[in-house]
Amino acid sequence: MKLKMIMLSGLFFSLPVMAEPEFAASIDNSLKECGQKAVSTLDSVDCYSVAEQSWDKALNQQYRLLTDGQSPEFKAAMKMSQRAWLTYRDRYLDSLRAFYRQQQGTVWSIIMSEASMRLTRNQAIELYTLRNSTDLQG
C-alpha cells in the first residue's frame, strides 16, 4: 500500500511540471485534483480514464489545427502518420496489458491506465509542437 501511494504521488505530481502548452495545464491539473480525491484503485483508474478522454479531444483538436490550410500532400502524409501512430499505440498497449497481467496487485491497473493516458498526452503535445514549430515570434 505504501509503495502504491508513493508511485501515485510521483505520477500525479510530476505531470504539471512536464506540461508544455497552456492547454496541457488544465488537463494535468484536473488529473492532479482527481488523484488527490481518489480513495481506491478504481478511483485512480477513473481519474486517468477521464484525463485520457480529455487528451484524446485535445489530440483531435491539435490535428485539425495542424492540418487546416495545409497542402494536400501534407494532409495525406499526416493522415498516414496518425494512422500509423494509432496502430503503434494499440499494439503497444496490448503488450503492456500482457506484461502487467503477469504482475501481482491492483496497482498495475493504475500504472496501465497512466501509460495509456500518457501515450495520448504525448502525441497531442507532439502535434501542438509541430504546429507551433514555425512560429519564430516566440
In a domain, residue 128? The reply is: yes
In a domain, residue 76? The reply is: yes
In a domain, residue 138? The reply is: no
In a domain, residue 62? The reply is: yes
What b/e sequence results for 68-80 when a residue is b if at least 16 CB atoms lie within 10 Å of its CB, and e otherwise? eeeeeeeeeebee
In this prediction, residue 70 carries a pLDDT of 96
Task: Report the range of poorest mean pLDDT among 7-11, 14-18, 30-34, 61-65.
Answer: 14-18
In a domain, residue 14? The reply is: yes
What does the pLDDT average to over 60-73?
97
Residue 128, domain extent? 2-132
Number of domains in the chain: 1
Contacts of 100 (CB under 8 A, 6+ apart): 108, 109, 111, 112
List, for residues 94-106, the tens digit of each pLDDT value: 999 999 999 999 9
In a domain, residue 126? The reply is: yes
In a domain, residue 91? The reply is: yes
